[in-house]
Chains A and B, each alone.
Chain A
Amino acid sequence: MVQEHDPPVDPVYKSSLRELKWIFVIWLLHFVWVVGYCCAFGYPPPESELITVLGMPSWVFWGVFVPWISATLISTWFALTQIQDHELPDSLPAALATRSDTQTESGT
């Protein structure tokens, strides 16, 4: 579909797509960590001994609390350093936009 003389790819689209892929990776990483750890250690057999860390069950600490901190730190790092800034276009005045819509539809 892309042709030789087409204008370059929109930079906002390009960077947003790259960021989207990384967001999926970050989500997947925490999905595996939380669900994996909690499934392995958070479903103990009845009557097993309760181990706590900082007052919470250890499966909550290592399977939810620590990954939650990790996710917050990674989200912060990602938002501050990896999401690219762009100049977003100004909105058209409403009347102009309506006119241009009408023209487009009548033209197609």
Chain B
Amino acid sequence: MSEGSTAALLTFAGYTISVFVLAILSNRVGKGKDFVGEYFLGSRGFGVWAFALTFAATNASGGSFTGFPALIYTHGWTLALWIAAYMVMPLVSMALIGKRMNQIARKTNALTIPEVLRARFESSAVGLVATSLLIFFMFFYLLAQFKAGGIILSTLFADEPLFQSAVSYVRQMTMNIPWVSQAEPDYLLCLILFAGAVIIYVVYGGFRAVVWTDVMQGIVMFVGVILMLGMALWQVGGLETATRKLEKMIPPEHGTAILSTASASNVDQTFAKGTWLFDSGNVFRLGELATIPKGQSTTEPVKILKITTPFEIEELNTKWKAGRIADTGLRVKVTKLEAYEYGAGQTGTYVSNPGPDSANELGFLAVGTAISFFIFWPFAATGQPSNMVRLLSFKDTRTLRYSIVTVAIYYSIIYFALIIIFCCARVLMPGMEIAPDQTMPAFAAQLTQDAGIPWLAGLLVAAPFAAVMSSVDSFLLVVSSAVVRDIYQQHVDRQAPEKMIKILSYSVTVIVGVLAVLCVLNPPQYLQDLIVFATGGLAACFLIPMLLSLYWPRMTANATIAAMLGGTGMHMGLTCWGYLTSQEFRAYSFLGVNPFIWDLVGSLAVALIVLAIGPKPNRDLVLKFFHDASASRG
């Protein structure tokens, strides 16, 4: 058992124990308080650190620590422009609607986003439409985050002998169970471990446990990123060196090759994905598992990556000749090579826009895309119900103000550090284009190994795990609160006793979690696209209706329903259009503009049309939400 893998196991064990301790504590703190308010909103009593870090951690989902590093590694410094709108995101997503929404939620005792909209117009129809759309889109989110949690854990435990024994046991146990047996046993085991931990602490501790664990996870993420930044800059020789080397790099080439040995063997020979191959001065990396069957001396064509940067080829050849990279003795006969659509054979593409791209001839970040992302990030974040619901939980406006400052500083450090870290990774760790999503754990392992402190890898890899966990717990609670509070309490039994609500809340949380696990045993092929679909869909559905409901006295229930359906309809329409034109589950960018902007235009246009032809707003509601009745009484 290696020191690193033991550390990984200990880190996970320590981390899980901490999470359960926090759940137990929060359960004790919540005793004696109104159950629904405590379970779904922590009794609206969170101060600056708790509120700021739960907001930051929920927003920084698994994508920030898996997908984002992969993009930086693959496309270089252009990701600084891609993510630049995060500079204003804390201000926009917290201050734009925070104070006003919290006020209305308190005035009406609303605990969920559909409830805020329902109470604002005293309309069950508004609440029902909002709840239905929220559950529909939010479920895709849950699926993606559960899958990410399972994958990160399986990477963390991959070399652990105890884990491998457990995997063998799971394989035997599940081989005859339909549907379940199709899942990889290591992934299945990790998915069950991850989901079990999250469901138990959410059920036991409710929103307060979610917030407290978010605080811990926020700290873990911060510490992990800072440690990685220091080690990456030290090992690369400073940022100037990293950027200068990055400038000289040429995008690699993807392709296929037939591998051969000098003579046939009497057993199957397998070569793991990621194996380095050296032939006639060229350097390749294996993109998938390759097998030479017994009695034969060649493989079928397998995926390979050809390194094209001269100094990388030289360094790798030197390491190979010095015995620091294993010699497979394989010959490589290339059968197909595909150059990047943008940036092939060029230097300087990793340090400028639009950045190299293997599939897009315009590069990764064309000007129009850069503009779209500066609009998309802050406003799409504002429209996410998981963020909105946090804005219902702060205890006073001072907490909101100081939390904006905290999150602004937190994001500045985390996201800029991530860009620098993974630009360094591109220089220090060649060939990760074969599995870009593994860049973060692989680089953590390499950095700590090279620094002579392999035990630290466990802590660094805990950062993305914390990010995924903090998102899953929030989404789980948003979905279950929508079912219990917005459907059962509003439409089935308004006078349900607290004991019944308690049992129902726990049951729905468990059922939603188990359903999500069953769905991601065999994740759909286009899961990543489904996440984009869900993010855009939620913002398209909720941003405009919420903004107009909070700030425009003329807004009506009919217009709110129309805006939600209009945004959703536009989102669905553009997604169908995209599928018909490109056969990919991706919304169509009409006139080259980000589909999210069209969604907002659609939502707003429909709302304005309905307002123009529909009835005027209820005057009592306008007085209730836009005037200060207490002042006139005084």
Query: Which A residues contact B (CB, under 8 angstroms)?
Result: 1, 6-13, 15-17, 19-20, 23, 26-27, 30-31, 34-35, 38-39, 42-44, 46-48, 50, 52, 54-57, 59-60, 63-65, 67-69, 71-72, 74-76, 78-80, 83-86, 88-94, 96-98, 101-102, 104-105, 108
B401→A64 contact, CB < 8 A: no
User: A20 CA to B382 CA in the complex, in Å?
Assistant: 13
Taking the closest CB of chain A, its distance from the CB of B236, in whole angstroms, is 10
Given contact pairs A75-B404, A85-B401, A88-B102, A43 touches B37 in the complex (Cβ within 8 A)? no
Q: From the candidates B347, B378, B402, B631, name the one contacting A27 in the complex (CB within 8 A).
A: B378
A23→B95 contact, CB < 8 A: yes
CB of B159 within 8 Å of the partner chain:
no
User: A65 CA to B84 CA in the complex, in Å?
Assistant: 9
B91→A23 contact, CB < 8 A: yes
Q: Can you list 19 residue pairs at the A/B interface with Cβ under 8 Å?
A: A1-B617, A1-B619, A1-B622, A7-B627, A9-B626, A26-B91, A27-B92, A34-B374, A55-B242, A56-B80, A59-B353, A63-B81, A67-B87, A76-B409, A79-B408, A86-B99, A93-B109, A98-B489, A102-B494
A residues within 8 A CB of B77?
56-57, 60
CB of B254 within 8 Å of the partner chain:
no
Chain B interfacial residues counted at CB < 8 A: 82
A57→B628 contact, CB < 8 A: no
User: A105 CA to B123 CA in the complex, in Å?
Assistant: 9
A64→B84 contact, CB < 8 A: yes
B residues within 8 A CB of A26?
88, 91
CB of B165 within 8 Å of the partner chain:
no
CB of B333 within 8 Å of the partner chain:
no
Taking the closest CB of chain B, its distance from the CB of A85, in whole angstroms, is 5
B353→A94 contact, CB < 8 A: no
B residues within 8 A CB of A34?
81, 84-85, 87, 374
A48→B348 contact, CB < 8 A: yes
B residues within 8 A CB of A52?
240, 243-244
B351→A57 contact, CB < 8 A: yes
Taking the closest CB of chain A, its distance from the CB of B272, in whole angstroms, is 35
Given contact pairs A35-B371, A52-B243, A91-B37, A79 touches B401 in the complex (Cβ within 8 A)? yes
User: A105 CA to B119 CA in the complex, in Å?
Assistant: 11
Interface hit among B277-285, B392-400, B461-469, B505-513: B392-400
User: A30 CA to B108 CA in the complex, in Å?
Assistant: 36
Given contact pairs A80-B405, A83-B400, A88-B103, A8 touches B91 in the complex (Cβ within 8 A)? no
B109→A92 contact, CB < 8 A: yes
B residues within 8 A CB of A12?
99-100, 103
Q: From the candidates B34, B37, B100, B109, name the one contacting A13 in the complex (CB within 8 A).
A: B100
CB of B529 within 8 Å of the partner chain:
no
Given contact pairs A16-B99, A76-B408, A108 touches B416 in the complex (Cβ within 8 A)? no
User: A72 CA to B301 CA in the complex, in Å?
Assistant: 52
A residues within 8 A CB of B400?
83
B87→A50 contact, CB < 8 A: no
Q: From the candidates A46, A93, A105, name the one contacting B346 in the complex (CB within 8 A).
A: A46
B residues within 8 A CB of A8?
627-628, 631-632
B397→A86 contact, CB < 8 A: yes
User: A100 CA to B81 CA in the complex, in Å?
Assistant: 50
A93→B627 contact, CB < 8 A: no
Q: Considering the complex, which residues of chain B in the window 98-114 have a beta carbon less than 8 Å from any beta carbon of chain A?
A: 99-100, 102-103, 105-109
B346→A31 contact, CB < 8 A: no
CB of B287 within 8 Å of the partner chain:
no
A residues within 8 A CB of B13?
none
CB of B495 within 8 Å of the partner chain:
yes
Q: Which residue of A lies closest to B416 (CB)?
A: A68
B374→A31 contact, CB < 8 A: yes
User: A7 CA to B404 CA in the complex, in Å?
Assistant: 32
Q: Considering the complex, which residues of chain B in the window 361-415 have a beta carbon less than 8 Å from any beta carbon of chain A?
A: 367, 370-371, 374-375, 378, 396-398, 400-402, 404-405, 408-409, 412
User: A97 CA to B240 CA in the complex, in Å?
Assistant: 61
A residues within 8 A CB of B99?
12, 15-16, 19, 83, 86, 88
A residues within 8 A CB of B348?
44, 46-48, 50
CB of B212 within 8 Å of the partner chain:
no
A91→B243 contact, CB < 8 A: no
